[in-house]
Amino acid sequence: MDPVLEKDPSTETLSFLNKKVSRRDFMKFCTAMSALLALPASFAPRMAEALTNAKKPYLVWLEFQDCAGDTESLLRATKPTVAQIILDILSVDYHETIMAPAGFQAEKSLMDVVKNNKGKYFVVVEGSIPLKDGGVYCCIGGRSAVEIVREVCGNALATIAVGTCAAYGGIPAAQPNPTGAVGVKEAVPNATVINLPGCPMNVENLTACIVHYLTFGSLPLTDKLGRPYFAYGKRIHDNCERRAHFDAGQFVRRWGDEGHRRGWCLYEMGCKGPETFHNCPTIKWNEGTSWPVQAGHGCVGCAEPYFWDKMSPFYKRLPNPPGFGVESTADKVGAGLAVATAAGLLIHGIGRAIFEGKKEEKGGE
Q: How far apart are the C-alpha atoms of 330 and 237, rounded to whole Å? A: 9
Q: How far is the CB of 144 from ligand SF4 (least distance, A)?
A: 40
Instruction: Give the binding range for ligand SF4 (CB under 6 A) out of 29-37, 43-51, 99-107, 268-276.
Output: 268-276
Nearer to ligand SF4, 298 or 344 (CB): 298
* Residue 32 in the binding site for ligand SF4 (CB under 6 A): no
| Contacts by 208-213, CB closer than 8 A, 24 or more apart | 208/33, 208/36, 208/37, 209/160, 210/57, 210/86, 210/87, 210/90, 210/122, 211/33, 211/37, 211/47, 211/51, 211/86, 212/37, 213/57, 213/122, 213/158
* Residue 271 in the binding site for ligand SF4 (CB under 6 A): yes
Nearer to ligand SF4, 212 or 245 (CB): 245
DSSP states of 279-330: -HHHH-BTTTTB-HHHHT-----TTSTTHHHHS-STTSPPP--TTBTBGGGH
Instruction: Give the binding range for ligand SF4 (CB under 6 A) out of 49-57, 61-69, 145-153, 270-278.
Output: 270-278
Outline where DSSP puts E strands in the chain: 58-63, 91-95, 122-126, 129-130, 139-140, 143-144, 158-162, 181-182, 193-196
Instruction: Give the binding range for ligand SF4 (CB under 6 A) out of 97-105, 115-123, 147-155, 271-279.
Output: 271-279
C-beta of residue 58 within 8 angstroms of C-beta of residue 213: no
Task: Tell me the CB-side half-sphere exposure of residue 85, using CA atoms within 13 A.
Answer: 19
Instruction: Give the binding range for ligand SF4 (CB under 6 A) out of 2-10, 267-275, 320-328, 349-357.
Output: 267-275
Q: How far apart are the C-alpha atoms of 222 and 27, rounded to whole Å? A: 26
Q: How far apart are the C-alpha atoms of 327 and 307, rounded to whole Å? A: 25
Q: How many residues bind ligand SF4 (CB under 6 A)?
A: 15
C-beta of residue 25 within 8 angstroms of C-beta of residue 81: no
Alpha-carbon distance values, 285 to 157, 279, 294 (Å): 29, 11, 11
Q: How far is the CB of 363 from ligand SF4 (least distance, A)?
A: 49
Q: How far is the CB of 274 from ligand SF4 (least distance, A)?
A: 5
Nearer to ligand SF4, 4 or 337 (CB): 337
Q: How far apart are the C-alpha atoms of 302 and 356, rounded to whole Å? A: 27
Determine the residue with CB nearest ligand SF4: 273
* Residue 291 in the binding site for ligand SF4 (CB under 6 A): no
3-class DSSP state for residue 255? coil
Q: How far is the CB of 291 from ligand SF4 (least distance, A)?
A: 10
What x/- string results for residues 224 through 263 when contact with ligand SF4 is judged by CB under 6 A? ------------xx--x-xx--x-----------------
**What sign does the CA torsion over 181, 186, 190, 191 have?**
positive
* Residue 317 in the binding site for ligand SF4 (CB under 6 A): no
Nearer to ligand SF4, 33 or 293 (CB): 293
* Residue 267 in the binding site for ligand SF4 (CB under 6 A): yes
* Residue 293 in the binding site for ligand SF4 (CB under 6 A): yes
Q: How far apart are the C-alpha atoms of 190 and 136, rounded to whole Å? A: 22
Nearer to ligand SF4, 200 or 274 (CB): 274
Nearer to ligand SF4, 30 or 240 (CB): 240
Nearer to ligand SF4, 56 or 260 (CB): 260
Among 183, 198, 270, 273, binds ligand SF4 (CB under 6 A): 273
Q: How far is the CB of 252 from ligand SF4 (least distance, A)?
A: 8
Q: How far apart are the C-alpha atoms of 232 and 205, rounded to whole Å? A: 10
Nearer to ligand SF4, 227 or 237 (CB): 237
Residue numbers at the binding site for ligand SF4 (CB under 6 A): 236-237, 240, 242-243, 246, 265-267, 271, 273-274, 293, 298-299
